[in-house]
Amino acid sequence: MAIKTEPFYLNIGPQHPSTHGVFRMRVSLDGEVIVGVEPIIGYLHRGIEKLAEARTYTQNIPFTDRLDYLSSMTNNLAYCMAIEKLGGIKVPERAEYIRIIFSEIMRISSHMMAVGFFLNDLGAMMTPVLYMWREREKIMDLFEMVCGQRLLYNYMRIGGVSQDLPDEFVPAVKKFVAEMPKYIDEYDQLLAINEILLARSKGVGILPRETAIAIGASGPVLRASGVKWDIRKMDPYSIYDRFDFEVPTGDAGDCYDRYWVRMQEIRQSVRILEQALAKLPEKGPVCAEVPQFFRPPRGEAYGYIEAPKGNIGFYAVSDGSIAPYRLHIYPPTLINITALQDMVVGWKVADLIIIFGSIDVVLGEIDR
Amino acid sequence: MTLLDQFQLVLKTLNWPDWAVYLTPAIVGILIIIIFVLTIIIVFIWWERRLLGRFQIRTGPNRCGPEGVLQPIATAIKILLKEDIVPDKADKLIHFIAPIIVFVPILMLFAVIPVSEGAILVDLNVGVIYVIAISSISVIGIFMAAWASNNKYSLISGLRAIAQMVSYELPVVLSIVGVAVVAGSFSMLKIVEAQGIPYILLQPLAFIIFFLGCLAEMNRSPFDLLEADSEIVAGYHIEYSGMKFAMFYLGEYGVALAYAGIITTLFLGGWQGPLLPPVLWFIIKVMLVFSLIIWMRATLPRLRVDQLMSFAWKFLLPMAVINLFLVAIEVLVLPATLQWVMVILNFGLAAALILLWSRLFTLGGGRVEV
């Protein structure tokens, strides 16, 4: 007689230590094996897209901070680029360099949080996170130095940045860039050859190349699946064509590759930072002349960049008034987690947590 | 002759009635053990927090008292003042007695751990078997807690508990048998006295197996699947609060102390050591073992449940069986005076076996077709 079993439904989230916010998954289990997963989102919905229609273009910049709050600077940049495209504004040279420097520092910081909390999901008891926070503290000091904020920066402006770099900034960031490779080696010593990390993450949660392309994944998740796609290289925005850097790719598309790609991207970001600091113009304006109540001409524009978590885009429609007629946000992590079901079925509860962690989501961006 | 036996003799010479001669030393001994255990648990909690802080480049608690030594007491008061919440759909009776069933066997373990020469509650001639038997009672309490909470996370934890603790019992037992074979006795006192050379040198492989098995038995990282906070939140004690939670909390450290004491007794030469008094040596060794446990907790990620099982059955168990046979042959063939030869031989064998087995064995496993 065949044994008949029924699925066991487990509700993970919205209140759960490793859902990276308020993500909720309704998981059906067969023992510990996952049969299906149904993501339920919307617990952090604030209606940013609708709110943006009632505020001026500049007033919308702080809202973009609150999307992916671990990489606010790149969100600012993508939004400002969309509006600059709309209004045809030319950004000064020095401002472009400052923007690149902050995007890359932001990428380092965001990837460190991603890797640290991925290890936390693996059960490493906060240790890797705290080691990564040691460097993230320095990054936050850098941000605080220039805009007075440590999490939600609101630093970029339409046409440039809000204020020039203080005198002590460049030596501080040079010191940080010089120290960083040593710390990355230290992380590799702790993590990259750890037997348990390898056993837990190699071959787990494979996202095949075809699926990754089909769902429109981007960022480290896409590159870990072996697709060499990075907007900084493929469609250089700002002044990325002036820098020399590699695009690391994985080949298996498993959790380990996603971890590995992030660590390599931190190294590449350090390379870009070195070059940008060497070429940074000494003097010059940091913001183009943009009126306070900026009225772009009628039309529409789409600004998109390679944010730490993938391709973030802002689509803005102007009706010639001081506020956008419509602002749509294209969130990379929302697109990336659509592959969750394909990746986790057949794995265990513990794997679900690390696969979800390896995608690196921030709920502020998914729910908007 | 243990200290308690001497106490009994003294009472007998004072012409106390028979029942008092029998009961008084036992009650005094039990009280001493409970006080000793609770004191060391408080030290352990403080030590774990401070040391973990250092491993994680932070300070750890340092506000209550000098170096934060009073922090565990503050924590205890806080936990005791919490409201005791029982879920509506819980099985009230079992929910109530489960923490007791977890905690009491842990206290009972200390009856046979010799702290110093003769300082043992009962010198059972089957001390090692007593330890094995009593230590496996806790798993019933854990499963009762998990089941009675009527919570899905704790149910998963309970199922893991049964699988994990039953599996790891086998390699642990087999590795202790090796020790008993060399010592020629199951009595904890005799085993300590037999250790001219600590058994960690004489049987390195048995020590490694026993240590890893103990980590799994006491749910410590990297085998802390029962309370895996990133997966099943807190596991079996998710629905506990107040005094009942404190029982689990004390139990967690109590079992760490008990196993550290057993490891000290079986492998590190117990209370023996030069210069310092025996009790101090015992405490130093226990602290060293506990620090090693904390170090592993601070460093290693957690295994998955199927990897945990394959590690027990495919790695530890065969190694323990091979180790037992090798030790038995060595004891038969080598004369007792040639113990240093045995040390060198066993280190070589342990290294060779671990290298060979790690080639053959992978933690892998993984996806199930559904």
Question: Helices marked H in B203-241 — which ranges?
Answer: 204-217
Quick check: B349 contacting A, CB < 8 Å? no
Quick check: B153 contacting A, CB < 8 Å? yes
Q: What is the number of domains present in chain A?
A: 1
What residues of chain B score a pLDDT lower than 50?
none
Quick check: B59 contacting A, CB < 8 Å? no
Structure confidence by residue, pLDDT tens digits, A315-349 = 989 888 888 898 898 988 888 888 888 888 888 88
Residue A345 with chain B: CB contacts under 8 Å: 370
Q: CA–CA separation, A338 vs A34, rounded Å?
A: 17
- What's the pLDDT at B60? 84
Domain-embedded: residue A1: no
Structure confidence by residue, pLDDT tens digits, A123-133 = 887 888 888 88
- Find residues 117-136 of chain B whose CB sits inside 8 Å of chain A: none
- What's the pLDDT at B1? 66
User: Are the CB atoms for A212 and A251 separated by under 8 Å?
Assistant: no
User: Are the CB atoms for A186 and A177 separated by under 8 Å?
Assistant: no
B257: left (phi over 0), alpha (psi -120 to 50) or beta: alpha
- What's the pLDDT at B370? 66
- Cross-chain Cβ contact B370/A30 below 8 Å: yes
Residue in chain B nearest A130 by alpha carbon:
B56
Domain-embedded: residue A97: yes
Domain-embedded: residue A2: no
Residue in chain B nearest A19 by alpha carbon:
B230
- What's the pLDDT at A14? 83
- Cross-chain Cβ contact A130/B56 below 8 Å: yes
Query: What is the extent of the structural domain holding A26?
Result: 8-367
User: Are the CB atoms for A368 and A45 separated by under 8 Å?
Assistant: yes
- Cross-chain Cβ contact B303/A199 below 8 Å: yes
Q: What is the CATH number of the domain that holds A328?
A: 1.10.645.10
Q: CA–CA separation, B111 vs B105, rounded Å?
A: 10
* Nearest neighbour of B222 by CB, restricted to A9, A16, A196: A196
Q: Is the pTM of this model over 0.90?
A: no
Residue % of chain A over a pLDDT of 70 = 100
Q: CA–CA separation, B201 vs B344, rounded Å?
A: 9
Quick check: A115 contacting B, CB < 8 Å? no
- Cross-chain Cβ contact B302/A350 below 8 Å: yes
Provide the sign of the torsion angle of the four alpha carbons B64, B66, B72, B74, taken in this order. negative
Quick check: A350 contacting B, CB < 8 Å? yes
- What's the pLDDT at A340? 86
* Nearest neighbour of A130 by CB, restricted to B58, B297, B306: B58
Quick check: A349 contacting B, CB < 8 Å? yes
Pairing type for strands A156-157 and A160-161 reads: antiparallel
Residue A350 with chain B: CB contacts under 8 Å: 225, 228, 231, 302, 304-305
Q: Where are the domains of chain B?
A: 78-360
Q: What is the mean pLDDT of chain A?
A: 87
Domain-embedded: residue A3: no
Q: Is residue B355 helix, strand or coil?
A: helix
Name which of A34, A117, A255, A348 to mutate to probe chain B: the one with the most chain B Cβ atoms within 10 A of its Cβ.
A348
Structure confidence by residue, pLDDT tens digits, A66-107 = 888 888 888 888 998 888 888 888 888 888 888 888 899 999
- Long-range (24+ apart) CB contacts under 8 A made by B283-288 are B283/B40, B286/B40, B286/B257, B286/B260, B286/B261, B287/B47, B287/B260
